[in-house]
Amino acid sequence: MASISDNLSHIHQEIDKALSQEKSGRKVRLLCVSKTKPDEMIKEAYAAGERCFGESYATEACDKIERLKAAGLNDIEWHFIGPVQKNKTRQIAAHFDVVESLDREIIADRLSEQRPEGMKPLEVYIEVNISGEEQKSGCAPDDAEKLIAHVRSKPNLRFTGLMGIAQDTADQQKILQEFSMLRDMFVRLKKSNPELVNLSIGMTHDLKEAIACGSTEVRIGTAIFGPRVYAQPRLGDSAKLSFIGGGNMASCIFRSVLKHCSPRNITVSGPHVEKLEHFRQDGAAVTSDNLEAARAGSVIFLGVKPQVLTGVLEELAASGTDFSDKLVISMAAGYKLSSISRILHSERLVRIMPNTPASLGEGITAVAYGSGVSAEDKELVRLLLDGMGKSVEGSEQDLNVIGVIAGCGPAFVYRFMESLISESVKHGLDEQASREIVEQLLKGSADMVIHNQDTPVSKLREAVTSKGGTTFAGLTKMTEGHFEDTMHEAVEAALKRTAEFESMY
Ligand SMILES: *Cc1c(COP(=O)(O)O)cnc(C)c1O
């Protein structure tokens, strides 16, 4: 394996090569991104001459900074580049020289207020969401100017830069387009903000594109320190889980999380305690007091119906509990993250849409993350859901589509099975035999699809359909009966209903 100093000389060469094309004589700062990496690696990079380091996780970072200062590494410039959580601003204001990831006014207020006396103003870059991906942090491009004005009004902050993260894609044109958008904004805003000198764009995989688009600072982790390995999260004994609402899906998730968490650390609430008896028998605490359950948990599952969720959230919010300390996971269909955050004042939110086969560990669960969810939170969510089958992560819009295809889907499939069973019975087979035949049919057909990943499903269909044969005759009738149109209309109707629900909350 190449040493860190070899990696660094290679990166500096890459930067110089990219710059040599433009013949401008300008320099690009290298920020060494050391998140998740041990002190020893930082010391090696320091010994090779590096003085700018970037970190993303506040607690980990502040511990490192203190240790390295104590070890005599006093002249490092520390940049915070991860999502800033409200309850971490004091630590960050006391330890960092630059915060690159500012994207909300409230964070600016707190950082300025909490910057310790005697330290020079905290340098701040505004992070702009240039990829337009919902789950990415950063303010919307249109909101940047207002946020900059706000930062400039703060006595202990100094606005000096813009930061952006391009979409993680192989599409070079898309990356160039996103970086150019930020560069244009940088050039325009510079005119009225003389202190704006930093354009922080470019990571390991898009360094060249970033420099071509005028980057003044690249943030490089992997190419210097190697790939990051995130420790397998374990729910330690201190992790407490709460379920508000104890219905079928809550039971299903409960069983999934029992693999990782002692039932002693779980509290379940619902209006009728007697209906929570099976949770109690499994060792969990049960209560009719939602607030008691919410206070007990560091992770809270909201399993109540969307119609009553607003009332429940308002009750929780009225208690004054700080929900940014808690990871809140909602399974209320059609209830938007923004509606939850409006009431709870936290962005550490997750929406999930499981489907009923999850109760057998064969489900497909759609997951959408709020902007305050950290990489560790995501690992935790994956861990908690792993007993339910597969999960797919996407935007809230994706979640709605998956909710229809996979959530309503079992009912569509059952409807199809019912028809086949009843046809079989009409022709004289008994009910039980008909059911067994149709069960095995669905299972076997699904396995054929799963085991032939390179074959389109239509090809599998053609393989059982010889022209003029029996299957062909049957399929022709399905086409004449507008099977495709029926499925299309079924999906559209369900999506429309989803949108109607979303607009209600
Ligand atoms: C982790 C991280 C980087 C470094 O990414 P690499 O692909 O490892 O170079 C840069 N910027 C931000 C905001 C990061 O979180």
The set of protein residues with a Cβ atom below 6 angstroms from ligand 1 is: 33, 35, 56, 81-82, 165, 203-205, 219-222
Q: Is the pTM of this model over 0.75?
A: no
Tell how far the Cα of 207 is from the centroid of ligand 1, in angstroms. Answer: 11
Taking CA atoms only, the protein residue closest to ligand 1 atom 12 is 81
Taking CA atoms only, the protein residue closest to ligand 1 atom 7 is 204
Supply the DSSP string of 238-280, one letter for each residue.
Answer: T--EEEES-SHHHHHHHHHHTTTS-GGGEEEE-S-GGGGHHHH
Side by side, which strands form the sheet with 327-330? 285-287, 266-269, 241-244, 299-302, 327-330, 349-353, 363-369, 389-393
Pick the atom of ligand 1 nearest to 100's CA.
13
CB contact burial 25-38 (16+ within 10 A = b; e otherwise)? eeebbbbbbbbbbe
Which of 33, 99, 206 gets mutated to test ligand 1 (max ligand atoms within 8 A of its CB)? 33
CA distance 224 to 54: 12
Pick the atom of ligand 1 nearest to 101's CA.
13
Tell how far the Cα of 396 is from the centroid of ligand 1, in angstroms. Answer: 25
CA distance 77 to 8: 17
Instruction: Classify residue 119 by its DSSP letter.
Output: S
Instruction: Classify residue 80 by its DSSP letter.
Output: E
Q: How many CA atoms lie within 13 A of 427 on its CB side?
A: 7
Which domains occur in the chain, in start order? Answer: 4-225 (3.20.20.10), 241-394 (3.40.50.720), 404-497 (1.10.3730.10)
Taking CA atoms only, the protein residue closest to ligand 1 atom 10 is 219
Report helix, strand or coil for 424: helix
CA distance 124 to 98: 6
Kindly give, in sequence order, each residue whose CB lies less than 8 Å from that of residue 167, ignoring residues fewer than 6 positions away.
131, 133, 174, 175, 178
Rg of the chain's alpha carbons, rounded to an integer?
A: 27
Pick the atom of ligand 1 nearest to 165's CA.
13
Per-residue pLDDT tens over the stretch 32-55? 999 999 999 999 999 999 999 999
CA distance 342 to 242: 21
CA distance 63 to 169: 33
Supply the DSSP string of 437-505, one letter for each residue.
Answer: HHHHHHHHHHHHHHH-TTS-HHHHHHHT--TTSHHHHHHHHHHHTTHHHHHHHHHHHHHHHHHHHHHH-
CB contact burial 114-126 (16+ within 10 A = b; e otherwise)? ebeeeeeebbbbb
Q: Is 165 exposed, middle or buried (0-12, 13-18, 19+ CB in 10 A)?
A: buried
pLDDT in tens, the chain (505 residues): 689 999 999 999 999 999 998 888 899 999 999 999 999 999 999 999 999 999 999 989 999 999 999 999 999 999 999 999 888 999 999 999 999 999 999 999 999 999 999 999 999 999 999 999 877 889 999 999 999 999 999 999 999 999 999 998 889 999 999 999 999 999 999 999 999 999 999 999 999 999 999 999 999 999 999 988 765 455 666 679 999 999 988 999 998 888 788 888 999 999 999 999 999 999 999 999 999 999 999 999 999 999 999 999 999 999 988 888 899 999 998 899 999 999 999 999 999 999 999 988 899 999 999 999 998 899 889 989 988 999 999 999 999 999 999 999 999 999 999 999 999 999 999 999 999 999 999 999 999 999 888 899 999 999 999 999 999 999 999 999 999 999 999 999 999 999 998 898 8
Taking CA atoms only, the protein residue closest to ligand 1 atom 4 is 221
At residue 309, φ and ψ (nearest 5 deg) are -65, -40
Pick the atom of ligand 1 nearest to 56's CA.
15
CA distance 470 to 427: 17
